Structure formats: C-alpha cells, structure tokens
Chain A
Amino acid sequence: MTALIFLIFAAIAVFCAISLVVQTHPVSSALSLIGVMGSLAVLYLLLGGEFIAAAQLIVYAGAIMVLFVFVIMLLNAGAETPTFQTSSFVKYLGIVLLVAFLGLISFIIQATLPKTEGVIFGNFQGTAADVGLKLFTSYLLPFEVTSVLILIALVGAIVLARKEI
C-alpha cells in the first residue's frame, strides 16, 4: 500500500516537474510547481514528517506560490517567445541526453546505497512536538539567526521595490 501511494505521487511529482520545464506560460509553470509541492507533501507524510508536510503546504504552496502568482499577474507576464531558433535535432538530442543522465544517476544511487529495510508508514513519526523540542533546544541559535535573516529580507524587499529606484 505504501509503495502504491509512493508510486502514484512520485509519478504526479515528476509529471508536474516536466510540465514546469516544458510550459511556456509562467502561470502554467506556477500551477505545475504547486502540483509538485502538493505531492511532495504527501511523500513527507509517508516518511513520517507531519510537521514538515504541513509547513510545505502552508509556507511553500501557500505563501511563496501566492507571491509568485501575484508577481506574474502584476507584471502581466505572457508566454515566452523563443529568441533564437534551435534545430529539432539539437532539441531531441538534449532530451535523450537528459534522460540518459538521470538514468545514470538513478543507477548509481541504486547500486551504491546499502540495502536497508525500506520505508514503512508509521515506523517513524516526527511529530510537531519532537520537532519543536529539538528546534528550541539544540537548534536555538540557528532559529534566532533565521529571524534576523527574515528581517533583512523584509527590509531588502521593501527597499528594492520602492518607487525611486
């Protein structure tokens, strides 16, 4: 059952990722990226990452993608027009080489990884309580530094998007 759910959502993720790369209109790419993030959230849940699955949906698919779609709408971005003509031979050669490259990487991972018992749903639960406990004890300093980073990003975004520049 776990393998079936994994295969379904992995297929959705790969399909949406290919769609992201192939689509010429930015809005279609953004919707494909939301599909990738949603299926990845399911896979996180399968791996026992409750908190991270929720954060993926809320922060990534919610906040960040809304920001992207908002900017696409604001700039009225249309479909991409090809600036230079590539021959169809080069295009198909590129696709074949990309598939061969990804196949090679998959083979290397499959061959070098030591055999383990595999992922079964429910064997490990990284609950929000566990994550919070670790975040506020072992990782307290990175957490505080992150808040400074967010503040800098906030100020930077406001300064960059001012009218005068």
Chain B
Amino acid sequence: MPNAVPLSWYLILSAILFGLGVAGFIFRRNIITVFMSIELMLNAVNLTFVTFSYQFRQVDGHIYSFFVMVVAAAEAAVGLAIILTVFKNRKTLMIDDVNSMKY
C-alpha cells in the first residue's frame, strides 16, 4: 500500500462521480432526483478544483469551489421554487408529463 495517493486517483474519482451524475440526469424521471444529479456533478467538479489546488500549492482552487458552492445554493433555492410552482400547476413531478414546450 503506497503512502502517497497519486493525483490521478482523485481525478478518476471525480470523473466517475461526474459520469454517474450525468447518468442520473439522463435516466431519472423524477424532477427532484434530476436536480440532485446536477448537485452531484457540481460536487465532482469541486473535487477537481481542490485537487489541483493541492498540486499547485495555491488556495485559488478552494476559492473557486467556494464560489461553486454559493452558486449551487442560489440555484437550489430558485430551482426548488420552480419545482414547487410546476407541482402547483401540473400536480406532477415526472418530467415526461411536463412537455408542453416540446411540441
């Protein structure tokens, strides 16, 4: 067991989490689960930022991921308000039923 963790392991973990987030975004039909998949993707990107921050010995990556967190918080507030409004008008959470802009 090596003592040092190779940098590529962190990046591979980040890529796997991002890929799973994309898969959830595409395959899930519940609008709340789709939204949570987006949060998972944002988290994966944050891990990359912090990893490269370690590599370059700079705290800039930490600040970027902090800004990503702030934007995610704002996005969650507005997005969940939109979900509430959609549910109030449509009485459904399935994205297949919210398709009036598709046709």
Bound pair (A, B): yes
Binding site for B on A (CB under 8 A): 1-4, 6, 10, 13-14, 17-18, 20-21, 24, 26, 29-30, 33, 36-37, 40, 43-44, 46-49, 51-52, 55-56, 59-60, 63-64, 67-68, 71-72, 74-75, 77, 80-83, 94, 98, 101-102, 105-106, 109-110, 113, 116-120, 123-124, 126, 130-131, 134-135, 138-139, 142, 146, 149-150, 152-154, 156-158, 160-161, 165
Check: B1 CB closer than 8 A to any chain A CB. Answer: yes
Question: Within the complex, what minimum Cβ distance (angstroms) separates B95 from chain A?
Answer: 9
Question: Within the complex, what minimum Cβ distance (angstroms) separates B29 from chain A?
Answer: 6
Q: How large is the interface on B (under 10, 10 to 19, 20 to 34, 35 or more residues)?
A: 35 or more
**Measured CA separation A43–B53 after assembly (Å):** 13
Binding site for A on B (CB under 8 A): 1-13, 15-17, 19-21, 23-24, 27-30, 32-33, 35-37, 39-40, 43, 46-47, 50-51, 53-55, 57, 59-60, 62-63, 65-67, 69-78, 80-85, 87-88, 93-94, 96
Contacts of A138 in B (CB 8 A): 60
- The SS class assigned to the B binding surface is helix
A110 and B72 contact, Cβ closer than 8 Å, known pairs A3-B2, A134-B59, A160-B81: no
